[in-house]
Amino acid sequence: MNSRLQAVRGMNDLLPEAIGDWQRVEAVARGIFADHGYAEIRMPLVERSELFARSIGAATDIVEKEMYAFQDRSGDMLALRPEGTAGCVRAALQHGLLHNQQPRFWYQGPMFRYERPQKGRYRQFQQIGAECFGIPDADIDAELILLTARLWRELGLSGVTLEINTLGTPDDRQVYREQLVAYFGGHRGLLDEDSKRRLEQNPLRILDSKAPEMQALIDEAPRLLDSLGGASRAHFDRLCAILDRAAVSYEINTRLVRGLDYYTHTVFEWVGEHLGAQNALCGGGRYDGLVEQLGGKPLPATGFSIGVERLVDSLRAVGVSAASATPDCFVVSVAAPAGEALVAAEELRDAGLAVICNCDAAGFKSQLRRADRSGARVAVILGEQESATGQVGIKPLRGDGEQQTVARADLVATVKQLSKG
């Protein structure tokens, strides 16, 4: 057993008992996107490494340390996608979908990052994402947030809070970055090791440090919100006004910076209270510079992505889970002529029923036990006596009701009546 092959670290099997919750999430999400006019798009799992270096940022951990990158047989540098936005922009540009259009897309699928796994973080993980192009107004940022809020509502998820912030324009950010470097640089002695490193690489990240000894210093740090340009300020104010009007509660978290280089203006995160340290259920924001960065004409864009494992975990934590699918009936057969059981099952399925057919020569008792454990509402019994007289036994397995023996020709009608009850 110990020499048996195991799944790759951080890449998990989704077993049948868990699949119902996943299918429910996917079905509800699909319905909501349809109701908002978002079109599904499916991209390859593999892209050129360069795409991610140019979008997410060559100096970010995701690209530097966490990409599954490899050379294919022609020598091209490829990578398993670590997120969906870059590929979606690439696909939209490649197929001319952004020309004089304002498309809204959604997608769903696995992403890959080489990190140490922990609760809510895996090397292969599933995201449901959306991207909207060509709309500069805060209204579309708000629509995305309302859409996710609706998703939580329809799924029955509670215990999530919305945090929002703005990163302004690249110019706003550059000015702010210098302020931060000056501020934290002036208190270099108070910084922990991680923050000293961030001071060089990505000063904004110091803001969301978890180190307790850093909190006081961070509280006193300058806030981007205070030095925002007029247009940026107006964009953020409008977003807040819309959320207020729509009665979506939120917290302004001036420390929320998010990791990817391409964000501008609005950033937001839904945080789940039932998760571990990896508690961001959904992250998103605006990325007005990315389309141009990837070779398109300048075009505003905004989007989000949901970590489906985290969403499913949260749903379980609040006690919302999908009932597992059970068959309508189970066909038991002992000493029946060859094919009788399968043909009976086929007739039942033709009538729209879900049927499990016993397919081995197990004893009567054993087959009936299987029927019971399958969750089926009725057992159809094809035994020696029934076969001899051209009849079938029909036994309700749930609640009241006596077993009855009916003519073979009445099988479907009888079962259908019972199993709908």
Compose the 331-360 pattern: x for residues touching RNA by CB under 7 A, - for all others: ---x--------------------------
Measured from the CB of residue 156, what is the shortest distance to RNA in angstroms?
A: 19
Residue 381 in contact with RNA, rule: CB under 7 A: yes
Q: For the chain, what is the total number of helices (H) and then of strands (E)?
A: 15, 16
Distance CA 62, CA 64 (A): 6
Position 131 contacts RNA (CB under 7 A): no
What is the distance between the alpha carbons of residues 421 and 6, in angstroms, rounded to a whole number?
Answer: 45
Cβ neighbourhood burial of 383 (10 Å; 0-12, 13-18, 19+): middle
The one among 274, 398, 408, 416 contacting RNA by CB under 7 A = 398
- Residue 218 in tokens: 């961070």
* Binding residue for RNA, selected from 103, 109, 110, 117, defined by CB under 7 A: 117
Asked if 260 interacts with RNA (CB under 7 A), we say yes
Q: How many residues touch RNA (CB under 7 A)?
A: 67
Query: For residues 116 and 297, which CB has a smaller minimum distance to RNA in the complex?
Result: 116
The DSSP secondary structure of 185-225, one letter per residue, reads: HHTGGG--HHHHHHHHH-GGGGGG---GGGHHHHHTS--GG
Which helix (H) or strand (E) segment is 166 a member of? strand 160-166
Query: Nearest Cα to 266, choosing from 203, 172, 183?
Result: 172
Q: How far is the CB of 357 from RNA (least distance, A)?
A: 16
Using CB under 7 A, pick the residue from 247, 277, 323, 338 that binds RNA: 277
Contact mark string toward RNA, 42..61, x via CB under 7 A: ------------------xx
Minimum Å distance from CB 282 to RNA?
6
Site string for RNA, 140-179 (x = CB under 7 A): ----------------------------------------
- The token pair at 251 is 């917290």
- Per DSSP bridges, beta strands 69-71 and 77-80 are antiparallel
Among 104, 105, 115, 106, residue whose Cα is nearest residue 80: 115
- Structural contact between residues 42 and 160, judged by C-beta atoms closer than 8 angstroms: no
Name the CA radius of gyration of the chain, rounded. 28
**Subset of residues 309 to 328 that bind RNA, contact rule: CB under 7 A:** 309-310
Decide whether 280 or 406 has the Cβ nearer to RNA: 280
Nearest Cα neighbor of 325 from 356, 368, 282, 362 is: 356
Stretch in the footprint of RNA (CB under 7 A) among 36-44, 273-281, 337-345, 347-355: 273-281
Instruction: Tell me how far, at minimum, the Cβ of 89 lies from RNA, in Å.
Output: 14
Residues that bind RNA (CB under 7 A): 1-3, 6, 9-10, 12, 60-62, 66, 83, 113, 115-122, 125, 127, 194, 198, 205, 209-211, 258-260, 269, 276-278, 280-283, 305-307, 309-310, 334, 362-366, 368-373, 381, 383-386, 393, 395, 397-398, 403
